[in-house]
Structure 1
Amino acid sequence: MDRLILYIGNKNYSSWSFRPWMALTGCGIDFEERLIPFDFEAGNPRIREISPTGRVPVLYHGDICVWESLAIIEYAAEIFPDAGIWPKARRDRAVARSVSMEMLSGFRALRNACPMNIRRKQARLEVSDDVCTDVERIETIWRELRAASGGPFLFGAFSAADAMFAPVVNRFDIYDLVHSEDALAYMAAVKSHPAWTKWQSAAVAEPWVVAEDEV
């Protein structure tokens, strides 16, 4: 089988790269990582050489190209059905895909106001009512799913749903947006996962600094 090649952007900033990287790494799937840094003011032109959208992440598997975070995760789940990317139970898989899609398409206020930045020191950020609404909805998702599964992750064991929310864990942490015991416990579980700590270590060591826009 051809090896998976995952193209990503800066680990400090690229939330969409983080999601499939975390899913694949957290589920023990072997892949080659190729990082194309956002080290140009208008982005790195090398990305357009490998991405049909001019954005990362992009996955190559032989002559197959898959773009967009959730599509990459679904493709990996298809070719590695026993890796545990999605929960085992059909009902749980349905819910996991639903909340992952909600994360993909929603929470625009939070993403715009609070970019992912692994290196940022924790400091309280005053946010709009729209951001607060996003935060409350995410906290509800986390609380209800962990209550049903028993934790420590959303569906008990780590899954793609946790990977989809991983950048939000960073946002909630560095901007000091949540204080509930349930949310903080979930965040602690995600931040202690070996895949998270590996990404974090690499992000902190990166030399690049770019504007804090969503990437």
Structure 2
Amino acid sequence: MADFTLVIGNKNYSSWSLRGWLMARIAGIEFEEIVVPLELPETQPTIRKYTPSGRVPVLMHRGLAVWDSLAIGEYLNDLKPEAGLWPASAAARAHARSISCEMHAGFVELRNNMPMNIRASYPGKGMVSAVRADIERITSMWRDCRKRFAGAAPKDDGFLFGQIGAADAMYAPVVTRLRTYGVTVDSDTDAYCKAVLAYPAMKEWMDAAKNEPWLIAGYELD
């Protein structure tokens, strides 16, 4: 039996679950996975069995509950520093945490107008001016990280800081949104998105999302 249990929502829709799940996979831990379908009458009572926050993801480890994707990333980094969830360089690490916190706290227009829906295709939908501004800010950060930090990393696999880490997990749902909504991006951004989508754990998540039986009407824009 695994030491860790990760409680998540629907893989097709739950962006925060994707973040926490990817961090667990990057850390290389073995974990049991519990999927709680969202927006059903039993959703909240079920999640509150694991955390009083009533939100997913939640990482359970030896009687301890850690909720919120960033908190999960920090906890796993404490346990598995060799996994490289955060960059080795102090400057790169500070920058990675800064952009991760910006994702955590911001980009509300993008979230509201382009909800994560991995198996859907809605080209052109949701692109209001405030969403465009969010996307421009995000993609400029991606280009800046690649230019300033990726080349200095021990290995550059195409991710923000060279090797995949917590910051990439934080922005992975944005990558899926750009794909779902057919957003045209520059060549550097496109290369980064392709690296994220090709990451084996990301492909595993997306394949599972496409095969889920649940539908949430508010995320289906047809």
Retained in 1: the 8 A contact 2:27–2:76?
no
Q: 1:116-195, aligned counterparts within 5 Å?
A: 116-148=116-148, 149-150=150-151, 151=156, 152-195=158-201
Retained in 1: the 8 A contact 2:7–2:33?
yes
Match of 2:97 in 1: 97
Residues 70-94 of structure 1 deviation map (CA, whole Å, 9 limit, x = unaligned): 0011111111111111111111111
Retained in 1: the 8 A contact 2:121–2:182?
no
Q: 1:137 to 1:4 in 2, by over 3 A?
A: same
Q: Normalised by the size of structure 1, how large is the TM-score? A: 0.93
Give 1:28 deviation, angstroms.
2.0
Q: Does 1:29 align with 2:29?
A: yes
Give the aligned CA root-mean-square deviation in angstroms. 1.6
Number of residue equivalences:
212
Helix, strand or coil at the partner of 1:82: helix
Match of 1:110 in 2: 110
Following the alignment from structure 1 to structure 2, what is the Cα–Cα distance between the partners of residues 134 and 154? 18
Residues 184-203 of structure 1 deviation map (CA, whole Å, 9 limit, x = unaligned): 11100000000100101111
* Range moving further from structure 2, 120-129 or 96-105: 120-129
Give 1:20 deviation, angstroms.
1.2
Match of 1:197 in 2: 203
Q: Normalised by the size of structure 2, how large is the TM-score? A: 0.90
* Range moving further from structure 2, 145-154 or 41-50: 41-50
* Range moving further from structure 2, 73-82 or 29-38: 29-38
Q: Which amino acid aligns with 2:183?
A: L
Helix, strand or coil at the partner of 1:5: strand
Retained in 1: the 8 A contact 2:5–2:31?
yes
Residues 12-35 of structure 1 deviation map (CA, whole Å, 9 limit, x = unaligned): 000000001012213322222111
Following the alignment from structure 1 to structure 2, what is the Cα–Cα distance between the partners of residues 44 and 8? 12
Q: Which amino acid aligns with 1:47?
A: I
Gaps of at least 5 residues in structure 2 are none
Helix, strand or coil at the partner of 2:32: strand
Q: Which amino acid aligns with 2:194?
A: A
Q: 1:142 to 1:201 in 2, by over 3 A?
A: same
Retained in 2: the 8 A contact 1:125–1:177?
no
Give 1:44 deviation, angstroms.
4.6
